[in-house]
Amino acid sequence: MKALKVFSAVLLVFILVGSAFAADEIRIGVYEPMTGQNAFGGQLTVEGIKLAHEQAPEVLGRPVKLFIVDNKSDKVEAANAVKRLIDKEKVVAIIGSYGSSLSMAGGEVAEKSGIPCITDSATNPLVTQGKKYYFRMCFIDPYQGAAAATYAYNDLEARNAALLLDVAQDYSVGLGNFFKKAFVKMGGNIAGTYKYQSGDQDFTAQLTDAISKGADFLYIPSYFAEGAIIMKQARELGAGFYIMGGDAMDNPDLVKIGGDAAEGFSYTTFPYAPEMPDMTKEAETFTKLWREKYAGTDMAEPNANSALGYDCYMFVIDAIKRANSADPEKITEAFASAKNWPGVTGSTTINETHDAEKPVGIKVIVSGAQVYTASVQPEM
């Protein structure tokens, strides 16, 4: 009996000492969709975060511990995941999530608890709007629309643009409006604004009208499935204008469906691709590390999501370093004051709405491949 008591006491001491050590580590939470419809993006993001963790496993002389939770591409799960990270795991900062609606669900919980969050790739302005603790590593939709207008006006020398927007998608309408604003400001003319609804298959009437108005550029901030059909029909109707879209077009199936009609199509996306020209030192290091770690797997090549995940982790570590503390309030302040922070996805400055200001990448379809051609700093 006595032996048992001694044993218990020893065990208790070990547990206490253990938790004392545990308190010494810095706990960072991650909530990403690793299953469900957004799994493709979420998994790559998490791999990027893990790779970054391997590179920087400690900060301020204390080890960093990652807590990765799957939000299952579900808004309720996302909110629960953030709650669990904060209440049970006692994290001091959170990375996530891929998908604007998931980030919005998680953001509400984090905001109440006062834990700083940074999202990797949620582009909807509402994610950070009016939030004290939510930040993002990517640009926002208006920024992207303006970048498309800048590229169209300066590089493609478009002057008479037509827009074809999906009225059922905030994403599409938002990008279209900001494109219009920036394009007109630069001196371009809007030949026509046409609309359709998600699921439509026939765009001939709108396209015929745009052609008759003499448009030399067509902006289609839609999803790739409809985008490919629009390109096909435009070319069938004899349209010679340039066609451009947004980051929702960044999908290999675009070329499969669009075929020849997709040739020359350009779209704005996150400013990283493994084959991009003029890579920064950070991007080069990341690409090399990724290729070494994942060689031979089905993720052998990094993409923008993995780069954004990597950047988020490094950004959090940098903020803790600058704050010289792992206190959530201090980290939040460090997030908000970041200027020209060098990341894989370009130099990042956090503005007053907590969004990253960074260049926007332009990809063009050349001979059936999506080629990274330029990084554009939008004229807002």
Partner 1 sequence: MTGQMFVQHFFNALTLGSLYALIAIGYTMVYGILRLINFAHGEIFMLGAYFIFFAGSLFNLPWAVGAVISIVLCALCGIMVDKVAYKPLRDAPRISALISSIGMSFLIQNLAIVVFSGIPRPVVRPDFFVKIVVIKGVRILPLAVIVPVVCFVLVLGLLFIVYKTKPGLAMRAISKDIETTRLMGVSVNRIIALTFGLGSALAAASGIMWALRYPQIQPLMGFMPGIKAFIAAVVGGIGSIQGAVIGGLILGFVEIMTVAFFPELSGFKDAFAFILLIVILLAKPTGLMGEKIEEKV
- The footprint of partner 1 (CB under 8 A) covers 165, 167, 192-197, 199-202, 204-206, 208-209, 212, 225, 228-229, 232, 236-238, 253, 256-257, 259
Q: Which is nearer to partner 1, 119 or 172 (CB)?
A: 172
CB 310 within 8 A of CB 96: no
In angstroms, give the least distance from the CB of 179 to partner 1.
Answer: 17
The backbone torsions φ and ψ at residue 261, rounded to the nearest 5 degrees and listed phi first, read -65, -20
**Least Å from the CB of residue 205 to partner 1:** 4
Minimum CB distance to partner 1, residue 270 (Å): 22
Using CA atoms, how far apart are residues 76 and 74, in angstroms rounded to an integer? 6
Q: Could you tell me the smallest distance in angstroms from the CB atom of residue 332 to partner 1?
A: 39
- Return the number of the residue (202 or 284) whose C-beta is nearest partner 1: 202
Question: Least CB distance from residue 167 to partner 1, whole Å?
Answer: 4
Give the nearer residue to partner 1 in terms of CB position, either 36 or 342.
Answer: 36
CB of 154 or CB of 212, closer to partner 1: 212
Q: 136 near 118, Cβ under 8 Å?
A: yes
Do the Cβ atoms of 53 and 91 come closer than 8 Å? no
- In angstroms, give the least distance from the CB of 250 to partner 1: 15
The radius of gyration of the chain's CA atoms, rounded to the nearest angstrom, is 23
Closer CB to partner 1, 215 or 244, in the complex: 215
CA angle 280, 354, 152 (to 5 degrees): 60
User: Strand pairing partners for 243?
Assistant: 218
Least distance in angstroms from the C-beta of 42 to partner 1: 17
Interatomic CA distance for residues 271 and 278, integer angstroms = 11
> Is 312 buried (19+), middle (13-18) or exposed (0-12) by CB count in 10 A?
buried
Nearer to partner 1, 54 or 236 (CB): 236
Query: Toward partner 1, which CB reaches closer, 208 or 377?
Result: 208
C-beta of 228: minimal distance to partner 1 in Å? 6
Supply angle C-alpha 162, 374, 380, rounded to 5: 55
Which one, 78 or 254, has the nearer CB to partner 1?
254
Whose Cβ is closer to partner 1: residue 172's or residue 345's?
172
Q: How far is the CB of 199 from partner 1 (least distance, A)?
A: 5
Distance CA 347, CA 133 (A): 21
**Residue 19 burial by CB count (10 A; 0-12/13-18/19+): exposed, middle or buried?**
exposed
Which tokens belong to 77? 């799960």
Q: What angle do CA 122, 34, 363 make, to 5 degrees?
A: 45
Question: By C-beta, is 167 or 184 nearer to partner 1?
Answer: 167
At residue 313, what is the residue type?
Y
Q: Within 10 A of 201 (CB to CB), how many other CB atoms are there?
A: 10
In the complex, minimum distance from the CB of residue 197 to partner 1, in angstroms, rounded to a whole number:
6
Q: Could you tell me if residue 312 is left (phi over 0), alpha (psi between -120 and 50 degrees) or otherwise beta?
A: alpha
Compute how many other C-beta atoms are within 10 angstroms of the C-beta atom of residue 25.
13
Residue 309: alpha-carbon gap to chain centroid: 9
